[in-house]
Amino acid sequence: MRFFGFNKRIGVVGMYRSGKTVFMTSLINHLERHDPDRFPLGKKRIRLGNFNPLPVEDGFRAFDYESHRHSLVSLQRWPTKTRMARQFRFNLTRSDWRYTLMDLTLTDLPGERLADIRIAKNSYESWSDEICGLFSTEPEYLAHAQGYIKTLAKAANQDSNPDQDEILHAYRLALARACLSYLPVITPSSFLLGPQGDYCGQRDEKGMAQTRYVGVDKDNQFAPLSKEVRKKHPGLAGLFKRRYEHYRRSVVAPTAHWLAQCNELVVLLDITTILAGGLGMYHGALALIEDLITYVDPGRGVLGQFASGLLKPLSAGHLTLPGITRIAFVASKADKVHASDRQKLLSLLRAMVQSRMNDLSEEYKLRVEYFACAAVKSTVSLNNGKLEGQPVELLQANSQKRPPVVRFTPSKVPGSWPENWGSHEYRFPDILPQMPARKDLAPPHLGLNLVADFLLSSDHLTE
């Protein structure tokens, strides 16, 4: 009989295409059908049992685990991406905790929403200054934002009211160009992922600029305005500010509430995609990580100014904030590189974030660990530096037939981050999932059990 309850809320976040849905699906599968030989946990031979799904909490949609697992097992395809915040809640027992029942909650947030952290922590004026500064000073963004900068300069120098549609279109065009160049700071995120989950499937800048919205809907769009434009045209600035606040309350506040419930975070970073995207994607990833760390205020149990200014009124002062006590940084999709290079993925991950996290760990007793992981291992490393697998690029359009297993050579992972590099200098093809023929087996993996061991442990309960 289990006399004690142990509650844990784990948030899974990451940049776009970092593999959050696959990570959660594989993790749940291994917890549900735990095999200590294929998924060893702890120093002892720990066994998990009594897996029991529970209803999700109010305000969340359920994570469609069965559908995602069906895609992997029966269709041999990757699950569809997350378009809305999803939650999976369940009970679980461990053989080394004889009297404790775990109540675990996993929550998945679309990667596009990470860019809205800048909106969560800023007023409209300071957000405008940040984005205008990014467009004006960062070379990767400056190359795509020249038209928008000129549009703002024109507005600042005219006495008549500027055309808001012209400003909004110029901003959408700048975001489209940045997106197509793999730059991750795309805010408001509704440009890529609408408030109701409608995703931007277009890949041409003109089409994106004409059909996507920067705001809650077509009639409530906003864009960053420079200090000069805000001073010269306070009416336009006030209009955009009201729309900004509307977006902040309706789209960004749920993200804040979600983060407020988490005890632990899993931050997935696909290092191979960052390498393939070039220096601009690297800088963008760094900015998003810094925004996330500042926003969740780990180790202190508060969410900073945004939490006190927005969450408390929304909850009538009753919202309790447990605070982040552990963060697992995960270099995902580690099977896209040769086995001899996987330790380098871990080194690159540490180089990106460890110095910042060390300061927090010492000051606030935050536990941080770093992992290289493949939630579904889909390649075989050969002795000659090649990988064996089924590249997605060989899959024919509208065909259900899987491409042949081929041997290919991915790029070598550098031992440290280069000083400068362009997009496509590194190449790591996407691979179709490889699943066991036995459909009752959980997927093969690389290091997923190490991440789970860190997340599920509790110092005062572990024997």
CATH of domain 4-109+261-378+436-456: 3.40.50.300
What angle separates helix 342-364 from helix 279-296, to the nearest 10 degrees?
Answer: 30
What is the per-residue pLDDT for 170?
A: 97
CA angle 267, 269, 270 (to 5 degrees): 150
**Residue among 371, 379, 448 at smallest CA distance from 410:** 379
Return d(Cα 70, Cα 74) in angstroms, integer.
Answer: 5
Helices (H) and strands (E) in the chain, counts: 16, 11
In the chain (463 residues long), the average pLDDT of successive 10-residue segments reads: 73 87 96 94 87 87 93 90 86 88 89 85 94 91 94 95 96 94 89 88 88 96 97 97 96 78 90 92 87 67 39 36 79 97 96 79 73 97 94 76 90 96 92 90 96 81 42
Token couple for 459: 């110092």
According to the model, what pLDDT value does residue 415 have? Answer: 95
User: What was the pLDDT predicted at 99?
Assistant: 80
100-108/264-269 β-pairing: unpaired
**Which token pair is 401?**
């037939």
User: Helix 65-73 vs helix 20-32: angle between axes, to the nearest 10 degrees?
Assistant: 90
Residue 14, pLDDT score: 87
Give one word for 273, left, alpha or beta, with left for phi > 0 and alpha for psi -120 to 50: alpha
In the chain, what are the domain boundaries? 4-109+261-378+436-456, 115-252
User: In the prediction, which pLDDT does 17 show?
Assistant: 80
